[in-house]
Homo-oligomer: A and B are copies of this chain.
Amino acid sequence: MLSRTSQYALRSVLFIAENSHARRKVGVGEVAKALEIPKYYLAKILRRLAVGKLIRSSKGPGGGYYLNSEDFDHPLIAIIESVDGPDSLKKCALGLNTCSSEHPCPIHFYIGPFRDSLLQSLSEITVGDALEQLKQEHVFIDNLLTGDEKKKSNSDPDERN
């Protein structure tokens, strides 16, 4: 549905939003371990997000990634497009050159409404909204893992990630 890269991006932004502010930044290692994302790969994604001004970063001791207040207003679609390129969700599901109701493919009218409302949702929902919803459900983003099984928070210091 979404590329793995944009999955990583979305979860990371939410995690950073949850766990940082301008005076308490989080490092790539921290995010990578909490979300079980390959550290060096994540670093590239975060850089793209930073270039796109969706998150902030600062170097040096005490540095890391964080969100400032405007960043909470970005819609989720902006994160996806920032890492996957624009219109990655707007293409014809059968790969035709144009997707339109004038030149519909056999499944256009089945898929169209679904995709349109998905796109609409992702354009409306901001980072802040998604965070708010997680809060209401009493869920933390790092409790939602992709691995086979949620590991209990053991404290063996496997720094290598």
Chain A positions within 8 Å of B, measured between CB atoms, are 1-2, 4, 7, 10-11, 14, 76, 89, 91, 93-97, 103-107, 109-111, 113-115, 117-118, 121-122, 125, 130, 133-134, 137, 139, 141, 144-149
- A117 CB to closest chain B CB (Å) equals 5
**Once the chains bind, are B106 and A7 in contact (CB under 8 Å)?**
no
Which residues of chain B are within 8 angstroms of A114 by Cβ–Cβ distance?
A: 113-115, 117-118
Residues from chain B with Cβ under 8 Å of A95 in the complex: 2, 4, 7, 146
Q: How far is the CA of A1 from the CA of B10 in the complex (A)?
A: 18
Which residue of chain B has its CB nearest to the CB of A117? B114
Point out the residue from B11, B94, B122 that lies within 8 Å of A7, measured CB to CB.
B94
Task: Please indicate the chain B residues that have their CB under 8 angstroms from the CB of A134 in the complex.
Answer: 106
Chain B residues lying within 8 Å of A107, measured Cβ to Cβ, are 10, 76, 121-122, 125, 130
CB neighbours of A145 from chain B (8 A): 96-97
A110 touching B97, Cβ below 8 Å:
no
**Chain B residues in 8 Å Cβ range of A4:** 95
Rounded to whole Å, the gap between the CB of A52 and the closest CB of chain B is 19
Closest to A146 in B: B95
Given A115-B1, A118-B114, A146-B95, the answer on whether A10 and B76 have CB atoms closer than 8 Å is no
- Bound form: Cα–Cα A139–B109 in Å: 14
A-B contacts, 12 of them at CB < 8 A, read: A2-B93, A2-B94, A11-B94, A96-B145, A97-B146, A104-B139, A106-B130, A106-B134, A107-B121, A107-B125, A110-B118, A114-B118
